[in-house]
Amino acid sequence: MPAWEGKSRGNKAGYRVFVWILKQGGVRPAYFLLRFVTLYFFFFSFSASRALYSFYRYRIGFGWIKSFFSIYQNYYLLGQTLIDKVALMSGTNNPFSFHFDGEENLHQIVKQGKGGILISGHLGSWDMAGHLLKRLHTAINIVIFDGEHEQIKSYLERVTGEKAVKFIIIKNDLSHIYEISGALKRNELICMHADRFLPGNKTKRHLFLGRDAAFPVGPFVLASTFRVPVSFVFAVKESALHYHFFASEAKDYANQPKPALMDIMLNEYVQELEIKTRAFPRQWFNFYDFWK
């Protein structure tokens, strides 16, 4: 069982410092400070670093020296994406550029008028992708575990105006299913990750990067139940100030036999996730033993 506990690291004071620097000097001074913060995580996040080393050494196939330095690069890129998110969403002057690959696929989903499900993973910056999806002129609902500390969430909402994107919280009483159903009926988009789960969630194993890994079945059960178009989406950082957004061809699985439908979607998702992970391995942001 992956040792992810459903919580994000960080504290309110740390966010406040970076927001102040962004407002005073922009992203580059924030990146400079980030290098020192990254060193702290590099030396003291033992369990995360151990999992990342195993990922680079045995799943990606880097040598041990390259694997070691990739850990630092991974932490640094994660910090950059968080800074970029605040800079972009708060309206701070920023020099970012974007390339949209497959955006027409998402516009096609909206035109069909029955909503759609966008499936992603913890590769690249989903926060940036969610913000860029506002170009579709329809409501975006992000399905999440309520694992972030409430004070940090409320602070970032004040700074970034993030409430423009709706959140659907996964709950034990399954009330989130009714929220998802209602959103789809309003021709809204449902965005969710399919690479993390909490203990007790149903999973299915699939070959990923040369070894079987467990994936949550929830996103695929929802897609097979509601029979709406599905696209796999990712937003990755290609250079210091440039992002590349990918959206796969929208597929309507309504004609597929339901018993095999979940396996078909899972297989196609894992294939897409593996392609993107091999292309951008230092933006793999699952900091635990994914294959345990």
Report if residue 6 sits inside a domain. Answer: no
Average pLDDT on 174-189 reads: 91
Report if residue 83 sits inside a domain. Answer: yes
User: 132 vs 67, 225, 243, 250, CA distance in Å?
Assistant: 32, 27, 10, 18
| DSSP structural state of residue 79 | H
The residue segments making up the domain with residue 86 are 12-283
Report if residue 137 sits inside a domain. Answer: yes
Rounded-to-integer distance, Cα 61 and Cα 159, Å: 40
Rounded-to-integer distance, Cα 34 and Cα 146, Å: 26
Q: In degrees to the nearest 10, what's the CA dihedral of 138, 143, 148, 152?
A: 10
Query: Which pLDDT tens digit goes with each residue over 222-272?
Result: 888 888 999 999 999 999 999 999 999 998 877 777 668 888 999 999 999
**Looking at the predicted structure, is the pLDDT value of residue 189 above 90?**
yes
If one counts the domains in the chain, the total is: 1
Q: Which amino acid is at 15?
A: Y
DSSP per-residue letters across 145-202:
-S-S-HHHHHHHHHHH-GGGSEEEE--TT-HHHHHHHHHHHTT-EEEEESS---TT--
Report if residue 146 sits inside a domain. Answer: yes
Rounded-to-integer distance, Cα 184 and Cα 190, Å: 7
Query: Which pLDDT tens digit goes with each residue over 94-144?
Result: 688 888 999 999 999 999 998 999 999 999 987 777 666 777 888 888 888
Report if residue 113 sits inside a domain. Answer: yes
Rounded-to-integer distance, Cα 247 and Cα 249, Å: 7
Report if residue 254 sits inside a domain. Answer: yes
242-247 and 230-239 strand pairing: antiparallel
Question: For residues 109 and 189, is the Cβ–Cβ distance under 8 A?
Answer: yes
Report if residue 1 sits inside a domain. Answer: no
| DSSP structural state of residue 224 | H
